Amino acid sequence: MIQKLPDFQSAREITDTWLNVFLQPKNDLTARITEAMRYSAVSEGKAFRPFLILTIGKMLKCPPEITGQLAAAVEMIHTYSLIHDDLPAMDNDAMRRGKPSNHIQFDEATAILAGDALLTKGIEVISTLPVPAPKRCRLIAELTKAIGDKGMIGGQMIDLIGEKQPLSLSEIQQMQTLKTGELIAFSCKAPCYIAPLCSPAKRVALTRFGYAIGHLFQITDDLLDLYGKTETVGKTIGKDEKSHKSTMVARLGQEKIRLKMREYSQTAQEALTAFGKKKVADLEVLIAYIVNREK
């Protein structure tokens, strides 16, 4: 049987359509910053977070032009984190999504500013979404918490500390929850605020689903870093080991990590039982994909 794949392609196209609206090329002196923002945001990335927003948005009957804009906003914010993560002072990575990292293609100063500008623009887009203001505020409040010093940035801080001192298993887990889990969980629950009707119980279920696939995604990311090939994965391979990074895979070993993966994938599947079986088909395809992904 051929494994069904998530339709990342459509998510990418919808996201790029909106990114092209929000990041129009300029021809004044500030043109370079927009160019650098576009270089990394309108890309070959698999649009994982936009896929979640669009798929769950569709499931909850959200207006597609609103989830489309939200998807573009979140993709800008994810891209900002990648650009800053790749900087020489951080992970020092010259390759991303199959092409030179932003600071290699442009320069370090431009990359720092492009990251800053993508974060700023992503929030600007949400602040003007065509939904009632209380919903926009709620989205921004939840998002900024998810990506702030107690969320994504906090996770990156722990990641950096982990290069200098060994982290315990629970510390690694906390790091991953913050570094990638929070924004993925936000992407899963955000459509609830846009949907005409979504019970708090369903939002809780989608949040749990988000954290579970976030962990799953992170583990497969680490596995790919250990066993993948640069040309397939599209970024430098083996860098965790080289930088002595504390990963769950390194800590638990191959066998135990497979058990962990099963655990997370079960949690994700169970969370989806709050919805009709037919409705969650695309999300079940996603779980299977993450478990088996090669890039």
| Nearer to a copy of itself (CB atom), residue 10 or residue 173 | 173
Q: Does position 34 bind a copy of itself by CB under 8 A?
A: yes
Tokens, residue 285: 């395809």
* Shortest Å, Cβ 87 to a copy of itself: 7
Spell out, one character per residue from 99 to 138, where the chain touches a copy of itself: x when CB under 8 A holds, - when not: --------xxxx-xx-xxx-xxx-xx--xx---xxx-xx-
* Shortest Å, Cβ 235 to a copy of itself: 19
Stretch that binds a copy of itself, among 149-157, 205-213, 219-227, 244-252 (CB under 8 A): 149-157
The dihedral through the CA atoms of 171, 177, 180, 183 has a sign that is: negative
Spell out, one character per residue from 158 to 187, where the chain touches a copy of itself: x when CB under 8 A holds, - when not: x-xx-----x---x--xx--x---------
The CA-based angle 152-83-144, given to 5 degrees, is 30
Residues paired with residue 96 on neighbouring β-strands, in sequence order: 99
Tokens, residue 83: 């650009």
Of positions 32, 58, 99, 260, contacts a copy of itself by CB under 8 A: 32
SS3 string, 181-216, reads HHHHHHHHHHHHHHCCCCCHHHHHHHHHHHHHHHHH
- List, as one string, the DSSP characters of 105-170: HS-HHHHHHHHHHHHHHHHHHHHT-SS-HHHHHHHHHHHHHHHSTTTHHHHHHHHHHHHHSPPPHH
Q: What DSSP state is assigned to residue 229?
A: -
* Shortest Å, Cβ 270 to a copy of itself: 29
Contact residues for a copy of itself, defined by CB under 8 A? 29-30, 32-34, 37, 80, 84, 87, 89-90, 107-110, 112-113, 115-117, 119-121, 123-124, 127-128, 132-134, 136-137, 140-141, 144-145, 147-150, 153-158, 160-161, 167, 171, 174-175, 178
